[in-house]
Chain A
Amino acid sequence: MSEFDIVKSQFIQDLWLPCVRKCGDYFVPRKRKNKELNVFTLTSDTNFQEISSFIKNGLTKQEKIYAWTYSHIKRMRLETELSDVNFLGLSKYETSVANPNFRLKAHFPFHIINLDYLCQEPRREQGRLEKELIGLERTISFQRDRRSECVLIFTTPLNGHTMDLQAICDESDGIRMPHWRGLLNDGRDKSTPISDNQQKITILNEILTDFSGKYFYSTELRTKSIPLPNGAIAYSSVAILKERVNHALN
């Protein structure tokens, strides 16, 4: 088992599955088993245990799952292993999600959205995290377009590269919403890149909460971090996005 397999396994057991189960009961209260939740997941050809786990727990079935991977060879292997899952993507999700002809958009909404960038073998490069967050915001906006609640899982490695808060806010604020006054709009200094991983985690939590608010969701956020070699951290959060009551009433 590789270090990522162990990390993924821990995230599934300790964080993802308990939250997804709870929400499964909320989304489909009348069915104890065979809930048939719509799932979108960024997955790996060598480790798709989240799919097996969701199916085993009666939350979904292969036909209700849309899975994304970034490589032709990986997709071939996944299609062979999971013949009834719907596969999309042959490029990086965070790049594709911004395109006007993004094919997955037609398949929203989902009950479970698993943006596990860790399993997409991310290049540990400057600017990666910023792109992933913009991908996350666009995903929430597609879900919002269909006025649907969901469980949103976001997982990424945090390493020595700095986090450019200004770039994230500029990009996010470029996606306008009528009531929205801006991401992390509390007068803080955004110009200093963030290098401390613990500080990154705090800010990631704030960003996720802010994104939810921007798209009229209230959120319940749970997180877990696991140390990786070389001082890096695997960060995962589960946001339960629920329709904000005052917005729903409007």
Chain B
Amino acid sequence: MRLTKFSPEMREFYKTFEKWSDKSWSATLSAHEKEIQYLSKKPPFFDFWTNTLSDNPVALHFFPEIFFDSYMSIQFASMGLYKYAIMCLRSELESTLKMIYFSDHPVEFKWWVNGIEIDGITSKKHVWGDGYVYFQNLDNIKLFNSKFNDKNQLINNIKTIYSTISKYVHTSAKSFQTSQSSITPKYDIEDFNGWKLKFDTTQEYIHVLLILIYFEKFKLTDSKDRDELIKICVNDSNYNSNLKKTINDLANV
């Protein structure tokens, strides 16, 4: 960018940003190049879902936003903006849950798109209703949950991560971007690892939800793509093996 055409104040404003973001990127990549490379393989799997659900107008409405939240979470974290990276995850998860709900509620979806709020439906804390009862009663989620000791495993895990990452939106004291000793965003190994865990977990729950909810479409996709998605995005060994068992059960119905 040619800065000379801008005022000195704007040049300084931009240069400050350029300096700290460049320094943070550089420090993050020096310490975690391979991890970033691996994590950046995850957002493109929303191409797979956009293709798989290309006949679902609700999905087509939501996937660019879901993809972008996931993509920007990596970008923000690499710049040392951990709070904003985690806020993206909360937005990504909320959009996914909304998309699943609205896919089967076209009337409510239309209201929501047009900004119409109906008391008790679209203006509730969550459009899908209280707690996660809506999701917990969906057949394929019940089947997946039945493979765990905790018979509500996936939903309880989603509840936990949702509540954790929401703290970054609602400004709880421990989720500040700045600290008393430093206000400049910079690479921090502890913050990076904390974000990475949340990123991985959020992607995992989102893809497991999508596979279970849209299994009829998922099973028609190319087997290499399906295997790749599960391999890259579902890393927890319990989740991975129980998801495969569930897929087998569903395929044999």
The secondary-structure label for the interface of chain B is helix
A87-104: CB near B (< 8 Å → 1, else 0) gives 000111001100111000
Known A90-B64, A101-B57, A125-B222; judge A72-B46 contact (CB<8 A): yes
Is B63 within 8 A of A90, CB to CB? yes
Among B47-55, B91-99, B156-164, B234-242, the stretch that binds chain A is: B47-55
Q: Which chain A residues border B109 with CB–CB below 8 Å?
A: none
When A and B form their complex, what is the total count of cross-chain residue pairs whose Cβ atoms lie within 8 Å?
A: 41
Residues in B whose Cβ lies below 8 Å from that of A71: 44, 47
Residue from the list A70, A72, A91, A125 in contact with B68, Cβ < 8 A: A72
Q: In the complex, what distance in Å separates the CA atom of A72 from the CA atom of B63? A: 9
| Binary per-residue interface labels of chain A (63-77) against chain B in the complex, 1 for a CB within 8 Å, 0 otherwise | 000000011110000
Interface size, chain B (Cβ < 8 Å)? 16
Contact A72 B43 (CB under 8 A): yes
Could you say which residues of chain A place their CB within 8 Å of the CB of B50? 72, 90-91
Cα–Cα, bound, A70→B47 (Å)? 7
Q: Find residues 64-91 in chain B having any chain A CB closer than 8 Å to their own CB.
A: 64, 67-68, 71
- Asked if A73 and B222 make an inter-chain contact with CB atoms under 8 angstroms apart, the answer reads no
B55 touches A101 (CB 8 A): yes
Query: Does A123 belong to the interface (CB within 8 Å)?
Result: yes
Q: Are B51 and A92 in contact (CB under 8 A)?
A: yes
Mask, A157-181, CB within 8 Å of B = 1, is 0000000000000000000000000
Q: How far is the CB of B137 from chain A (nearest CB, A)?
A: 28
Give the residue of B43, B44, B51, B63 whose beta carbon is less than 8 angstroms from that of A95: B51
Q: Is the CB of A99 within 8 A of B54?
A: yes
Complex Cα distance A112/B103, Å?
A: 35
Residues on A with beta carbons closer than 8 Å to the beta carbon of B64: 72, 90
Q: Contact residue range for chain A?
A: 10 to 19
Least Cβ–Cβ distance between B158 and chain A, in angstroms: 24
Question: Which residues from B are CB-within-8-Å of A96?
Answer: 51, 54
Q: In the assembled complex, how far is the CB of residue A138 from the closest CB belonging to chain B, in whole angstroms?
A: 13
CA distance A95 to B53 in the complex (A): 10
Q: Is the CB of A72 within 8 A of B54?
A: no
CB < 8 Å neighbour of A123 from B57, B63, B67, B222: B222
Question: A100 CA to B68 CA in the complex, in Å?
Answer: 26
Contact A91 B222 (CB under 8 A): no
Query: A74: nearest residue on chain B (CB-CB)?
Result: B47
Closest chain-B Cβ to A8's Cβ sits at a distance in Å of 22
Q: Looking at the assembled complex, report how far the CB atom of B139 sits from the nearest CB atom of chain A, in whole angstroms.
A: 26
The distance from the CB of A115 to the nearest CB of chain B, in whole angstroms, is: 17
Contact B55 A99 (CB under 8 A): yes
Q: Give chain B residues whose Cβ lies under 8 Å from the Cβ of A70.
A: 47, 51
A72 adjacent to B71 (CB under 8 Å): yes
Residues on the A chain within 8 Å of B68, using CB: 72
Report chain A residues within 8 Å CB of B60. Answer: 90, 101
Decide if A72 touches B67 in the complex (CB within 8 Å): yes
Interface residues of B in 21-67 (CB under 8 A from A): 43-44, 46-47, 50-51, 54-55, 57, 60, 63-64, 67
Q: How distant is B163 from chain A, measured CB to nearest CB, in Å?
A: 28
| A-B residue pairs in contact (CB < 8 Å), sample of 26 | A71-B44, A71-B47, A72-B43, A72-B63, A72-B68, A73-B71, A90-B50, A90-B60, A90-B63, A90-B64, A90-B67, A91-B50, A91-B51, A91-B54, A92-B51, A95-B51, A95-B54, A96-B51, A96-B54, A99-B54, A99-B55, A100-B55, A101-B55, A101-B57, A101-B60, A125-B222
What is the interface of chain A, defined by CB distance below 8 A to chain B? 70-73, 90-92, 95-96, 99-101, 123, 125
Shortest 5 CB-CB contacts between residues of A and residues of B = A91-B51, A99-B55, A72-B67, A91-B54, A91-B50
